[in-house]
Amino acid sequence: MEAEASTFETCEMLATFLASTPLLSDSWKLCSHANATAPQGFVANQVEDVCYVAFSGVQAVTGWYPGCRNLVPLDTSDNGPFSAWRRQGEEEEPVMVHAGFLHMFLSTFHTESFQTQIFEIMKRSKSVVFTGHSIGAPIASLSALWFLSHFQSVSSSPSVICITFGSPLLGNKSLSRAILQERWGGNFWHVVARHDIVPRLLFAPLTPHLHFLLQLWHLCMPSPYLIEPAVQLHEHQTSELFRFVSAYVEASTREEGAVRPLFCPFGNFMFCSNEGAVCVDNEMAIVKLLHVMFVSGSAGSSITDHFDYGDYFGKVSLQFLCTRGFMEGDLPESSYEAGVELALQSSEIPSHVIHKDSLFQFQKSKPMAATRLRVAVSGLVKDCLKMAKRMGLTPNLNSAGVAIALSKITPLRAQIEWYKASCDDSDDQMGYYDSFKQRGASKRDFKVNMNRIKLAQFWDDLIGMLETNQLSHDFHKRAKYVNASQFYKLLVEPLDIAEYYRSGMHRVKGHYIKHGRDKRYEIFDKWWGAKKVFDEESNKRSTFASLTQDSCFWARLEEAREWLEIVRTEGDTRKLCMLWENIDKFEQYARRMVEKKEVSIDVLARNSSYSLWIEELKELRLHLQQFPPSFPRLLDGRVVP
Residue 52 pLDDT exceeds 90:
yes
- Quick check: 560 and 566 in contact, CB under 8 A? no
Q: Residue 289 burial (CB < 10 Å; 0-12/13-18/19+)?
A: buried
Measure the CA–CA gap between 587 and 620, rounded to whole angstroms.
Answer: 14
Measure the CA–CA gap between 602 and 604, rounded to whole angstroms.
Answer: 5
Question: Quick one: pLDDT at residue 204?
Answer: 86
128 lies in the same domain as 202: yes
Q: CATH number of the domain that 135 lies in? A: 3.40.50.1820
Residue 531 pLDDT exceeds 50:
yes
pLDDT winner (highest mean) among 147-156, 250-259, 370-379: 147-156
Is 49 among the catalytic positions? no
∠ CA 608-610-612, rounded to 5°? 70
| Average pLDDT of the segment spanning 53-65 | 74
Q: Which residues pair with 354 in a beta bridge?
A: 373
Question: Quick one: pLDDT at residue 328?
Answer: 47
pLDDT in tens, 369-383: 333 433 445 556 666
Final residue before a domain boundary, out of 330, 348, 366? 348
Categorize the per-residue pLDDT at 368 as very low, low, confident or very high, splitting at 50, 70 and 90: very low
CB atoms near residue 368 (< 10 Å)? 15
Q: At what angle do helices 609-626 and 573-595 cross, to 10 degrees?
A: 130
Lowest mean pLDDT among 166-180, 366-380, 596-610: 366-380
**Is residue 10 in some structural domain?**
yes
∠ CA 501-497-409, rounded to 5°? 135
Cα–Cα nearest to 242, from 190, 304, 172, 165: 304
**Is residue 190 in some structural domain?**
yes
| Average pLDDT of the segment spanning 280-303 | 87
Categorize the per-residue pLDDT at 625 as very low, low, confident or very high, splitting at 50, 70 and 90: confident
138 lies in the same domain as 260: yes
Final residue before a domain boundary, out of 303, 330, 348? 348
pTM for this entry = 0.73
Query: Of 27, 98, 133, 196, which residue is the catalytic one?
Result: 196
461 lies in the same domain as 320: no
- Averaged pLDDT of the chain: 81
**Is residue 463 in some structural domain?**
yes
Question: Quick one: pLDDT at residue 7?
Answer: 54
298 lies in the same domain as 430: no
421 lies in the same domain as 273: no
Contacting residues for 610 by C-beta, under 8 A, at least 6 apart: 557, 590, 603, 604
344 lies in the same domain as 430: no
- Read off φ and ψ for residue 130, nearest 5 degrees: -90, 130
| Average pLDDT of the segment spanning 513-540 | 78
Residue 538 pLDDT exceeds 60:
no
DSSP 8-state class, residue 78: T
Query: Of 134, 141, 296, 485, which residue is the catalytic one?
Result: 134
**Is residue 388 in some structural domain?**
no
- pLDDT higher for 471 or 435? 435
Lowest mean pLDDT among 508-517, 586-595, 617-626, 630-639: 630-639
How many domains does the structure of the chain reveal? 2
Question: Quick one: pLDDT at residue 629?
Answer: 62
Residue 186 pLDDT exceeds 80:
yes
Contacting residues for 454 by C-beta, under 8 A, at least 6 apart: 409, 412
**Is residue 387 in some structural domain?**
no
Is 157 among the catalytic positions? no
437 lies in the same domain as 533: yes
| Average pLDDT of the segment spanning 57-76 | 70
331 lies in the same domain as 409: no
- The percent of residues in the chain predicted with pLDDT above 90, rounded, is 44
Measure the CA–CA gap between 453 and 248, rounded to whole angstroms.
Answer: 50
**Is residue 395 in some structural domain?**
no
For residues 350, 355, 361, 362, the Cα torsion angle rounded to the nearest 10 degrees is -100
Question: Quick one: pLDDT at residue 375?
Answer: 42
Residue 3 pLDDT exceeds 50:
no
pLDDT in tens, 390-438: 666 678 788 889 999 999 999 999 999 999 999 999 999 999 999 999 9
336 lies in the same domain as 428: no
Measure the CA–CA gap between 502 and 506, rounded to whole angstroms.
Answer: 9
Cα–Cα nearest to 144, from 124, 169, 161: 161
Query: Of 190, 306, 355, 473, which residue is the catalytic one?
Result: 306
**Is residue 363 in some structural domain?**
no
193 lies in the same domain as 83: yes
Final residue before a domain boundary, out of 348, 365, 383? 348
Question: Quick one: pLDDT at residue 18?
Answer: 83
203 lies in the same domain as 293: yes
**Is residue 290 in some structural domain?**
yes
Question: Quick one: pLDDT at residue 393?
Answer: 67
138 lies in the same domain as 41: yes
Question: Quick one: pLDDT at residue 345?
Answer: 62
Integer angstrom CA distances of residue 497 from 112, 426, 559: 55, 21, 12
Question: Quick one: pLDDT at residue 634?
Answer: 46
The domain in which residue 482 lies consists of 405-640
Is 383 among the catalytic positions? no
